[in-house]
Amino acid sequence: DRMKESRVYLRALFDYTPYEDKATPCQEAGLPFKRRDILQVVSQDDATWWQAKRVGDCSLRAALIPSTQFQERSADTGEEAPSPTTRKDRQEPKTPDANQADFRIYEEVTQYLPRPGDRPRLIVLIGSVGARISELKQQLIAENPRRYGLAVPHTTRARKCHEREGIEYHFITRAAFESDIHNGKFIEYGEYKDNLYGTSLESIHKVLSQNKVCLMDVQPEVLKTLRTAEFKPFIIFVKPHVTESQKKHGSSSSLGFMITEEDLQEMKSSAERMDECYGHWVDYILVKEDPASALAELQLVLDRVQLEPQWVPASWLR
Ligand code: 5GP
């Protein structure tokens, strides 16, 4: 029985570099991996070191990865890890939330392809500064109005002159928004630059009832709430392409607007922050060079979500 191979697939939620890990029994035996890599665990016989392969890396033999239990203990404050070497040298998965329940180690995943008749997966976009995702979203819908729809969010911010009530947003007062929160209308909401934004369950159902794929863009903090079996969100992180030449010349038209050195710095650090804090939940990273190629790439990715199996948390299908 001990010889039986397990067929567990894990998504890595942290980067692992065996050569920097003094606790690895033999550093050449370790499997280096990055966040978002999918690992096939072939043996969990040992409580401390599992044997795994990286999916998509068929040439490789199984190598060692730290077990969840080991990684949890090493990242923890107290207990000694079951290793002869000192636990001070262990790499800790980064936990900006400092939330014990939030330790990012692995997530068990399985492949999922919606069958005909299944509800299409919710498409969630997050964007760092300069990504202009609402533009991208509107273009996608404009090109494929029968296929994609927008879960129209509610907001308390003032309507801009090109915006239409019920198209970009439902514009409501803060009092109305707060009462909607109280009545549980929103599946998610958040505050951004002193304004409230939120998506109601009703606005998602409205799109789904028209047999369309539902798009939404949110602040990344709410991803956690949206990642449920009910919506099976496919999460796309859009970030602007920042090149050295743009930095040197200080301006660029490739993104469709003028940029200063300061803007570029802000774009870069915003993308880094977002990746650091939320990258482990992201299914696809879209680097936006110019609006047209970003739209084409988005369309390709969304086709794949409907045609090819994607890795999702195993808990969604149980
Ligand atoms: P804007 O005011 O420029 O239209 O949107 C600003 C930001 O508000 C967006 O980039 C996005 O982060 C956030 N936002 C827009 N819609 C929603 C929503 O439905 N829910 C949440 N939580 N944030 C939203």
How many whole angstroms separate alpha carbon 240 and alpha carbon 263?
11
Instruction: Tell the burial category of 182 from Cβ atoms under 10 Å away from its Cβ (0-12, 13-18, 19+).
Output: exposed
Please name the residue whose Cα sits nearest to atom 24 of ligand 1.
Answer: 218
The string of pLDDT tens digits covering residues 46-103 is 999 999 999 988 767 899 999 999 888 877 644 443 433 333 344 444 444 434 445 7
- For residue 127, the ligand 1 atom closest to its alpha carbon is 10
Q: Establish whether this prediction's ipTM goes over 0.90.
A: yes
Cβ of 222 closer than 6 Å to ligand 1, yes or no, is: yes
Report whether residue 291 contacts ligand 1, using a CB cutoff of 6 Å: no
Distance in Å, CA 147 to ligand 1 centroid: 22
Question: For residue 318, how far is its CA from the centre of ligand 1 (angstroms)?
Answer: 32
How many whole angstroms separate alpha carbon 227 and alpha carbon 282? 11
The residue type of 239 is K
Tokens of 109: 């995943």
Distance 167 CA to ligand 1 centre (A): 14
Give residue 88 CA to ligand 1 midpoint distance, Å.
41
Separation between Cα atoms, residue 86 and residue 279, nearest integer Å: 30
Residue 146: is it exposed, middle or buried by C-beta count within 10 angstroms (0-12/13-18/19+)? exposed
Answer whether 130 contacts ligand 1 (Cβ < 6 A).
Answer: no
* Residue 188 near ligand 1, beta carbon < 6 Å: yes
Query: Do 221 and 190 touch, CB atoms closer than 8 A?
Result: yes
pLDDT at position 98 is 38
From its phi and psi, is residue 211 left (phi > 0), alpha (psi between -120 and 50) or beta?
left
Kindly report, residue by residue over 155-210, the tens digit of the pLDDT.
999 999 999 999 999 999 999 999 999 999 999 999 999 999 999 999 999 999 99
Q: Which atom of ligand 1 is nearest to the CA of 192?
A: 8
Backbone torsions φ then ψ of 191, nearest 5 degrees: -110, 135
Rg over alpha carbons for the chain, rounded to the nearest Å, is 22
Structure tokens at 271: 């993308």
| 28 pLDDT above the threshold of 60 | yes
- pLDDT at position 80: 40
CB 29 within 8 A of CB 63: yes
Interior angle at CA 121, CA 315 and CA 296, nearest 5: 130
Strand partners, 110: 312
Instruction: Judge whether 36 and 279 are in contact, CB under 8 Å.
Output: yes
**What is the tens place of the pLDDT at every residue in 140-151?**
999 999 999 999
Instruction: Tell the residue nearest (CA) to atom 8 of ligand 1.
Output: 192
Q: Is 235 exposed, middle or buried (0-12, 13-18, 19+ CB in 10 A)?
A: buried
Q: Are 147 and 212 in contact (CB under 8 A)?
A: yes
- Does 219 contact ligand 1 (Cβ within 6 A)? yes
Q: Which of 172, 192, 193 to mutate to test the pocket of ligand 1 (most atoms within 8 A of CB)?
A: 192
CB atoms within 10 A of CB 190: 16
pLDDT at 287 over 80: yes
pLDDT band at residue 6, thresholds of 50, 70 and 90?
low
Distances (CA, A) of 206 to 1, 118, 185, 196, 215: 51, 16, 14, 21, 12
Dist. CA 158–CA 161, nearest whole Å: 9
How far apart (Å, rounded) are the C-alpha atoms in residues 318 and 304? 23
pLDDT given for residue 249 in this prediction: 58
CB atoms within 10 A of CB 226: 20
